Amino acid sequence: MTVIQRPFPFTAIVGQETMKKGLLLHLVDPRLGGVLIRGEKGTAKSTAVRALADLMPGLRVVDLPVSATEDRVVGSLDIEHAIRHGEVRFEPGLLAAAHGHILYVDEINLLEDAIVDALLDAAAMGVNTVEREGVSHSHPARFALIGTMNPEEGELRPQLLDRFAISVDVCGERDVASRMEVVRRRLAFDSDADAFRRVYERRQAELLERIRQARTLLAQIEPTEAMLEQAATIGIRLEVDGHRADITLMKTAMALAAFDGRTRVKPDDMTEAALLVMPHRMRRRPFEDDAGGVEAVRRLLGELPAEGVHAK
């Protein structure tokens, strides 16, 4: 008999606060648009994704391997059957399996661009459409897209980066006490996973309740003219292309407010949202890394007036 070990508790993950916040916002607003997590190996990227799904009853992770074919991802149509019998016979793919759940792609930077385009389109529209030889089939495909990658193995194209709502960078703990605690908790979990999980049951339940309350609050938040002006100003000053960044900034700020138990969006929400949404969308100069993008956002936010940024 095979015993399946349940995931590491989300609330037991040491550090990586920005990554955890970005993931939790997608439980508050599953339509936010996806998280891209970039960082070195061994920084709890995969652990956090699986722990996130374990936090919410009924939610599961659908893995999309980098070796997957396009038909395996989007599904396939039996054209011969359609011609002979006049009806569409559709073989569902991973996008159908991920509907209502998390679609997880490890090493997403190694995935073929055509497949990345297809899954990002489905994530944005909530619908997957397959067309072959004039025959088409559509089905719902609403899921939280989470991609992880090691930048040392190659980057995503800027056009694909822009399609992710949030991008966060992670690295190993540099504080001795925190690094010790990472090892201590992992050894305890590996020694007796059930006992370890029981220690965090209350924290897990409290976080789940916070998410559920945030979902209710989010529905009560409406954008204001001040928020719209702030988002537009930030987008223009940072010279990001298109309007997706502005829209995502608004949604992220509202999700942050709801997660904090409020129906009012504060200036700090707009600041935090901009740091999650904007850096990976900024045009890169030669030899400029993502840390440079974050600092550029910080400088801009320090220059802008914050008065009047709230929702009723």
Whole-Å CA distances, 131 to 75, 85, 103, 277: 10, 18, 22, 33
Tell me the CA distances in angstroms from 236 to 229, 268, 293, one per residue in order.
11, 20, 15
Active site residue 283: no
CA triple 39-45-46, angle to 5 deg: 140
Retrieve residue 221's tokens. Answer: 């938040």
Residue 27 near residue 52, CB atoms below 8 Å: yes
Given 244, 281, 283, 298, which residue is catalytic?
244
DSSP helix/strand/coil, 62 = strand
**Rounded CA separation 10/207 (Å):** 9
* Closest by Cα among 309, 272, 279 to 297: 279
Evaluate whether 75 touches 115 at the Cβ level (below 8 Å).
Answer: no
Q: What is the rounded distance in angstroms from the CA atom of residue 78 to the CA atom of residue 87?
A: 9
Q: Say if residues 55 and 241 touch (Cβ distance below 8 Å).
A: no
Active-site positions? 244
